[in-house]
């Protein structure tokens, strides 16, 4: 089982330095999404005081030509602080800060999908849209082989691994536990975790979060997972179908509700929203993975607890449908629904934005409405 060279460095030696006093200085780690739309980058600066709000964090810049975000001849990009969390790696008073990226002309970078999402969420504040996202992922060796799998073969078939217990069923639980605690420390709204159907595949859930907070918390949870895996010397993959064949893919099921849906008689509002979603299936498929549906085409086959990418479907307690209404919601006649189409590597900003556009702003057609016109 190949782990990274960095993970073999003496962590006890590192710890003696991490325990040194830092005086009245604070380390602030700026985090941003790079030009791939999937990768995360970070760098750190020193501040002379502990920031209490996001307004205390100054703007910064970076070389966009090295992150797939600009040409070398005009490479300065701006980091605009957007959400602040406690730093579970350096601990208090140090901070993690998720940033938006602006180009040299102060316009949003191409992969800055937060900018538009925030505008859309501000239009529906009174509806109090809540989201919960179920992030599936796969642990890999540094060479790209699923963690714990035989070097030249496959583990036993799926069946005993989902929520499994035991060394022959749960692969990599130390990473899962470390990530969970680190998220709680940071203030990420993580609400659960479990082993998934394929060995070395896991899931964590974030929510409920309102509006723009969903994307912020999921991206920071992903960043923390990457960093935890870095310490353990393994790699986390959000690929929606990391292993071809008779193995489950990885999604990011998205639970959605509004104030009306959560109140008495909310099931009718849920059904109306699903009707609108049915008429806009292609738009949502394009929005639900970074490659406009190409990644999800490998996963949404109609098998392995997925719907067919070309067909819209909905049903109560049906895990083979595009949209699942939980059985408890059907009984209570109010609550939420689950959109099972988003891929594990989706951008939560555009997923949540698309749901709001279709279900609350009642858009139709194949393209999102431009409200700046």
The domains of the chain are located at 5-111, 121-360
Q: Is the pLDDT of residue 278 over 80?
A: yes
The mean pLDDT value of the chain amounts to 95
CATH topology identical between 5-111 and 121-360: no
Instruction: Give the Å distances, CA to CA, from 92 to 13, 42, 175, 228, 239.
Output: 21, 18, 22, 18, 33
Fold of 5-111: Ubiquitin-like (UB roll) (3.10.20)
d(CA 94, CA 14): 17
pLDDT category at 319 given cuts 50, 70, 90 is confident
CATH architecture of 121-360: 2-Layer Sandwich (3.30)
Q: What is the DSSP letter of 106?
A: S
Q: In the chain, pLDDT over 70 holds for what percent of residues?
A: 99
Q: Is the pLDDT of residue 72 over 80?
A: no
Q: Which has the closest alpha carbon to 314: 265, 278, 269?
A: 278
| Residue 70, pLDDT score | 85
3-state secondary structure of 65: helix
| Residue 351, pLDDT score | 98
d(CA 270, CA 256): 9
pTM for the predicted model, two decimal places: 0.97
Q: In the chain, pLDDT over 90 holds for what percent of residues?
A: 92
Segment 109-117 shows an average pLDDT of 96
3-state secondary structure of 148: coil
Strands (E), the chain: 26-33, 40-47, 60-63, 76-86, 95-102, 130-140, 190-195, 201-210, 235-237, 252-257, 314-316, 323-325, 337-339
């Amino acid at each position: 089982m190949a782990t990274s060279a960095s993970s073999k460095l003496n962590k006890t030696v590192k710890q003696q330095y991490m325990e040194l006093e830092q005086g009245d200085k604070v380390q602030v780690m700026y985090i941003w999404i790079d030009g791939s739309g999937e990768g995360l980058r970070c760098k750190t600066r020193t501040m002379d005081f502990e920031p209490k709000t996001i307004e205390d964090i100054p703007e910064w810049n970076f070389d966009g030509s090295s992150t797939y975000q600009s040409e070398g001849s005009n490479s300065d990009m701006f980091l605009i602080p957007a959400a602040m969390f406690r730093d579970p790696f350096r601990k208090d008073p140090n901070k993690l800060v998720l940033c938006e990226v602006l180009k040299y002309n102060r316009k949003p970078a191409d992969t800055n999908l937060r900018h538009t999402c925030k505008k859309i969420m501000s239009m529906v504040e009174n509806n109090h849209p809540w989201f919960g996202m179920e992030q599936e992922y796969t642990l890999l060796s540094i060479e790209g082989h699923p963690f714990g799998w035989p070097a030249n073969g496959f583990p036993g078939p799926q069946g005993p691994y989902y929520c499994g217990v035991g060394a022959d069923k749960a692969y990599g639980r130390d990473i899962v536990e470390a990530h969970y605690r680190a998220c709680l420390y940071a203030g990420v709204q993580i609400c659960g975790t479990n082993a998934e159907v394929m060995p070395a595949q896991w899931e964590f859930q974030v929510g409920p979060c309102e509006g723009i907070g969903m994307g912020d918390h999921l991206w920071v949870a992903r960043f923390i997972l990457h960093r935890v895996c870095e310490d353990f010397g393994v790699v986390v993959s959000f690929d929606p179908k990391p292993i071809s064949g008779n193995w489950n893919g990885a999604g990011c099921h998205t639970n959605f509700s509004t104030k009306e849906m959560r109140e008495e008689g909310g099931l009718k509002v849920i059904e109306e929203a699903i009707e609108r979603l049915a008429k806009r299936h292609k738009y949502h498929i394009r929005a639900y993975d970074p490659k406009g549906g190409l990644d999800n085409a490998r996963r949404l086959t109609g098998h392995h607890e997925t719907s067919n990418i070309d067909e819209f479907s909905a049903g109560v307690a049906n895990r083979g449908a595009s949209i699942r209404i939980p059985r408890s919601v059907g009984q209570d006649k109010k609550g939420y629904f689950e959109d099972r189409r988003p891929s594990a590597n989706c951008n939560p900003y555009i997923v949540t934005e698309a749901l709001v556009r279709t279900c609350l702003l009642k858009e139709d057609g194949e393209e999102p409405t431009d409200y700046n016109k």
